[in-house]
Amino acid sequence: MCETSSSLLPQDQALVDGVLARERRALAKTITLIESTRAEHQERARAVIAALLPQSGRSIRVGISGSPGAGKSTFIEALGTFLIDAGHRLAVLAVDPSSTISGGSILGDKTRMESLCQREEAFIRPSPSAGSLGGVAERTREAILVCEAAGFDVIIVETVGVGQSETTVAGMVDAFVLLQLPNAGDELQAIKKGIVEIADLVVINKADIDPRAAAIARSQMQMAMMMLRPASHHWRPPVLTISALKKEGIAAFWDEIDRYQATLLAAGEFEARRRRQSLDWMWAQIDSGLRQRFRAHPAVRASLESLSVAVASGRTTPSSAAKILLDHLQSR
C-alpha cells in the first residue's frame, strides 16, 4: 500500500528494461523524462523510478564542491579514469541552479572531461537547467537512483557554490568533499559560507605548483576543521593534498573514501544518514507543497499581500496575520 500503484506504459516499461540492461540511450531518455516539467511526464517519471527503485542504492554517492578554478573537472576526470581502471562504473551528475540564467552549466561543456567522456564506463550528465535549487535538486536525486539502477557504483555529484547548493548536495550524498585551492582566501570563503562544517573530506588541489603553500593550507584547514566541525565519534574529516593535473594523490583520496565508507558502515551511520536524508527530503517536499497550496488558496491570495504589509509596518502582529491566513483554509 505504500507503493505508487501506477502501471507502466509500454514505452516506459521499455525505458525500465533498457536502464536495467545498462543501455545508455534508455538511461539518458529516462533522465530527460525526469527533468521534464510537464505534468504527464512527471507522472510517467514517478512510475519509472518506482519500478527502478528496488535496483537502486548500491553505490557510493560522493558530492564534490569547490570554487571556480579549484579544478573540479580536472579532479573528476583524474578520479574517474582511476576508478574505471579499477573496475568501477561512474556517473557524474551536477547541481547548478544558476545554469538557467548563465545559459552554460558546469558539465555543460563536455570537452572539459574529454577523456572521461570517451569511456563506456562513465556517464556524464549536465545539471538540469530548470529553475529553483529545490527543483534541480529533486531531479538530481532521482537521477542518482536511475544511474544506480543502471549499474553505476560510483555516483559523483558536482556543484558550484551558488546559494545553498553545497548544503543541498551534502544532503543527497554519502560523502561530501570540499575541493580547495592552496590559498588562504579560498579557505576564508569556505569558512564564511559554512561549507567547512559539512565537509567529510577536504582536498587541497594544485599542490604541485607550490608544495609549501599547499602544506600550510592543509594545516590551516585542519585547524579550522577542528574548530568548526562538530565532534563525531566516528569520523574526523581528513585534509589531503593532491595534484589533479599530475594525477598525484588520487589513489590516496579514494583510499580515504573507502575508509570513510567502512567506518560509517561499521558504526551503522551510513544507512542512518541515507534514511535521514530521505525523510528530510520527503518533509522538504511536503512543506513546499503545503506552502504552494496555501499561496494558491483564493482567500489567501486575496489577503496575503495586504496582511504582509500590515505585519511589516507593525500594524498587525505576525501571530494575528498567520492566524487570519490559516483560518482562511477552513472556509474553502
Instruction: Kindly list the residues in this chain that would bind its own copies in the complex (CB under 8 A).
Output: 1-4, 46, 49-50, 53-54, 56-57, 138, 141-142, 145, 188, 191-192, 194, 227-228, 230, 274-275, 278-279, 281-283, 285-287, 289-291, 293-294, 303, 306-326, 329
Query: Min. distance of Cβ 100 from its own copies in angstroms?
Result: 21
Query: Min. distance of Cβ 200 from its own copies in angstroms?
Result: 17
How far CA 332 is from CA of 122, 254, 289, 296, 324, in Å, comes to 52, 57, 18, 12, 14
Q: What is the largest CA-CA distance in the chain?
A: 69
CB closer to its own copies out of 82 and 294: 294
Query: Min. distance of Cβ 128 from its own copies in angstroms?
Result: 14
Residues in Cβ contact with 134 at an 8 Å cutoff, skipping those fewer than 6 apart: 284, 288
3-class state of residue 92 by DSSP: strand
Query: Min. distance of Cβ 2 from its own copies in angstroms?
Result: 4
Tell me the β-bridge partners of 65: 159, 178
Which has the closest alpha carbon to 200: 236, 244, 164?
A: 236
User: Rounded to an integer, what distance in angstroms lies between the CA atom of residue 257 and that of residue 26?
Assistant: 30
CB closer to its own copies out of 41 and 274: 274
Cβ distance 270 to 233 under 8 Å? no
Strands (E) across the chain are located at 60-66, 90-95, 122-124, 154-159, 175-180, 201-204, 239-241
User: Rounded to an integer, what distance in angstroms lies between the CA atom of residue 326 and that of residue 300?
Assistant: 8
Cβ distance 92 to 107 under 8 Å? yes
CB closer to its own copies out of 209 and 326: 326
CB closer to its own copies out of 117 and 311: 311
Query: Min. distance of Cβ 300 from its own copies in angstroms?
Result: 9
CB closer to its own copies out of 76 and 91: 91
Query: Min. distance of Cβ 281 from its own copies in angstroms?
Result: 4
CB closer to its own copies out of 38 and 323: 323
Residues in Cβ contact with 320 at an 8 Å cutoff, skipping those fewer than 6 apart: none
How far CA 206 is from CA of 148, 173, 181, 182, in Å, comes to 31, 25, 7, 7
Here the cell at position 45 is 517519471
CB closer to its own copies out of 157 and 250: 157
Query: Min. distance of Cβ 293 from its own copies in angstroms?
Result: 7
How many CB atoms are closer than 10 A to CB 106? 21
CB closer to its own copies out of 227 and 252: 227
Query: Min. distance of Cβ 122 from its own copies in angstroms?
Result: 25
